[in-house]
Amino acid sequence: MDVVSLARQYGGRIAFMGNIDVRVLESGNRPAIEAEIAGKMEALKSLGAAYFWHTDHSVSPNVRFDDYRFAMEVYRAHAAY
């Protein structure tokens, strides 16, 4: 399920959690990580949808700590609304 599509349907009636693609985090590709997170956060923000940070699956040991920390920085930069 796509959290942005669900937010369009249910808007401010429920909160959402997860749906950050862990495979993107595993890739270590910083521009892709930023696009994955910023794109979803900005869309959710524009829809007024409440959101709790999490990936779509457990964070695997294939995600480097520095990449996860970068992901959290991107999230924090786009989370305030």
Whether the predicted model's global pTM rises above the 0.85 cut: yes
pLDDT at 11 (0 to 100): 76
Mean pLDDT in residue range 3-8: 95
Q: In this structure, what DSSP letter does residue 73 have?
A: H
pLDDT at 80 (0 to 100): 87
Q: In this structure, what DSSP letter does residue 12 have?
A: G
Three-state SS letters, 14-64: CEEECCECHHHHHHCCHHHHHHHHHHHHHHHHHHCCEEECCECCCCCCCCC
For 14-69, how does the pLDDT look when each residue is reduced to its tens digit (9 = 90+)?
999 999 999 999 999 999 999 999 999 999 999 999 999 999 999 999 999 999 99
* Residue 12 pLDDT class (50, 70, 90 cuts): confident
